[in-house]
Structure 1
Amino acid sequence: MTDPLAPLRAKFIARCAEDLLVVQEGPAASELPRTIHRIAGVAGMFGYEALGALAGRIDERAHAGKGFVERELAELAAALAAVARS
């Protein structure tokens, strides 16, 4: 049986490599909030629930005005790297 989401999943995985660069740049990256929000919204759809949950926690903290925690960004970077290698 063919997975109808396979082409989109492949694009998501490729995008994770790009997103990793944004996350590694940290709070200085103007696209960081948008990137994290997008990851939080779509990662679970492609089977990466833990990645989506982590991005969701970071996104919620940022929207609450609490900024970004370096440790969490490092965890997110590691998770993105793992997905990009898959």
Structure 2
Amino acid sequence: MSSQIPAPRQFLAGASLGTRVVVRYRISDGLTDALGDLVGMSDAECTVRTRRSDVVIPLDLVVAAKPVPPAPPRRNPRPAP
């Protein structure tokens, strides 16, 4: 018995806000990823809060999406030598 992997759009529509995700989507010269928390979802787009900013991604451009584990805790900076 094989389990079917949900299509990216179906996964995003069913994911709870706050779920940590990676979303791969098309840009003008190829593909890129957004890694962070899913903070918004509509019929036309999703919003992923990355470390730098909120990224609004049109669902028509999404080619893959999946949940990812929580980010590891940040390390303390090393003392200067």
TM-score (norm 2): 0.31
**Quick one: higher RCO (CA 8 Å, sep 6+), 1 or 2?**
1
Q: Give 1 or 2 for the bigger CA radius of gyration.
A: 2
More helix by share: 1
State the TM-score, normalizing by the size of structure 1: 0.30
